[in-house]
Amino acid sequence: MTIYFYKVWQPYGCFSNFSLHGIHIEGTYWPTVEHYYQAQKFVDSADAAIIPLIHAAPTPEEAASLGRCSTRQLRRDWNLVKTQIMREAVLKKFLTHADIREVLLMTGDEILVENSPTDSFWGCGANKAGLNHLGKTLMSVREEIRNLLSLAVIYE
């Protein structure tokens, strides 16, 4: 059975990048994956001054709104690096927080889909045929954590 998620307050809301699960990456604490992801858009770009504002945004919605401003200049390699950046952040989130790691592992081999009606890159889009890269990232992270746990048992 496919598992759909989207908003934090809906079922499986902890799979949303807007869920309030902080991550430490390279010495910096980010309040949500969304804060980190939106800030990475501007690393080494002419608009890098926005990064501390995104970092300090009081909510992930505000972080996303700052990062989505169409007049700012994104880093040139953004389309090449964004899925890897997302994977690193999502992996860190589920390695850091044991309670939601259990929720992810309990989904077994079910297909996970970000049920975004507006995003057919990270989600499935309104027609449900989108690329679902966030769902794919979560499934890949689930697999990696399972492998890490089985290695931990072997070397115990």
Ligand X SMILES: Nc1c(N[C@@H]2O[C@H](COP(=O)(O)O)[C@@H](O)[C@H]2O)[nH]c(=O)[nH]c1=O
Q: What SS3 state is found at 76? A: coil
Number of residues that bind ligand X (CB under 6 A): 15
Among 16, 115, 132, 137, binds ligand X (CB under 6 A): 16
Nearer Cβ to ligand X (12/148): 12
Q: What is the rounded CA–CA span in Å between residue 73 and residue 43?
A: 10
Work out how close the CB of 78 gets to ligand X at its nearest, in angstroms, rounded to a whole number. Answer: 9
Site string for ligand X, 110-139 (x = CB under 6 A): ----x-x--x--x-----------x-----
Provide the token pair at 92.
């860190």
Q: What is the rounded CA–CA span in Å between residue 127 and residue 124?
A: 7
Q: Please report which helix (H) or strand (E) contains residue 40, including its range.
A: helix 33-40
Per CB under 6 A, does 67 bind ligand X? Answer: yes
Exposed, middle or buried: residue 155 (CB in 10 Å: 0-12, 13-18, 19+)?
exposed
Among 4, 12, 30, 37, binds ligand X (CB under 6 A): 37
- Neighbouring-strand partners of residue 113: 4
The residues that touch ligand X, with contacts defined as CB under 6 A, are 6-7, 16-18, 34, 37, 64, 67-68, 114, 116, 119, 122, 134
